[in-house]
């Protein structure tokens, strides 16, 4: 187990959001709202439910792992050969919510895998264009 934990990596994004956890929870768990900020989907907040997120570049296969309303939501995230787990944690604060997203389970040897390249495509090319603008 220890070996596994040292061999995997995580991406963590955290933000203070000026809205209560209940409202954020709706945005994280209602399909028509998820679609507005993430991707088209057939999500249900039910443990073991399998769903897809569909982007213009392909689909992400997911399965719900944990649902603790207004607190924690966790699902697997398998896209183009990369397997990972996405966990959302909502912590109330005096001014709203501390929202934390952790995506974990990448192995270092996947870091440069072509799946990763495909995944970050749009952003990658946006960055590339910026670099090009600077290098000419």
Partner 1 sequence: MPVSHDTLFRALADPTRRALFERLCRKGEQTVGTLTARAGISQPAVSKHLAVLKQAGLVRDRHEGRQTHYSAQLRALAPLIDWTSQMAGFWQSRFDDLEDLLKRMDQ
Taking the CB of residue 31, how many other CB atoms lie within 10 A of it?
A: 12
> One symbol per residue from 67 to 106: x for binding partner 1 (CB under 8 A), - otherwise; what is it?
--------------------------------x-x-x--x
CA distance 19 to 22: 8
Asked if residue 52 binds partner 1 (CB under 8 A), the reply is no
Nearest residue to 53 via CA among 63, 45, 61: 61
- What's the CA gap between 76 and 62, in Å, rounded? 5
Binding flag, residue 124, partner 1 (CB under 8 A): yes
Q: Which residues bind partner 1 (CB under 8 A)?
A: 9, 11-13, 15, 17, 19, 23-24, 26-27, 33, 36-38, 57-58, 99, 101, 103, 106, 110-114, 116-121, 123-125, 127-129, 131-132, 135
């Amino acid at each position: 187990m220890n070996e596994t934990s040292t061999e995997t990596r995580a991406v963590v994004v955290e933000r203070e959001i000026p809205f209560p956890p209940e409202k954020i929870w709706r945005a994280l768990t209602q399909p028509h709202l998820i679609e507005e900020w993430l991707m088209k989907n057939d999500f249900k907040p039910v443990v073991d439910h399998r769903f897809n997120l569909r982007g213009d570049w392909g689909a992400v296969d997911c399965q719900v792992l944990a649902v603790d309303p207004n607190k924690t939501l966790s699902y697997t995230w398998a896209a183009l050969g990369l397997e990972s787990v996405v966990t959302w944690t909502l912590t109330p604060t005096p001014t709203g919510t501390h929202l934390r997203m952790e995506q974990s389970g990448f192995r270092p040897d996947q870091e440069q895998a072509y799946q990763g390249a495909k995944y970050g495509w749009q952003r990658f090319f946006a960055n590339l264009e910026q670099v090009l603008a600077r290098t000419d």
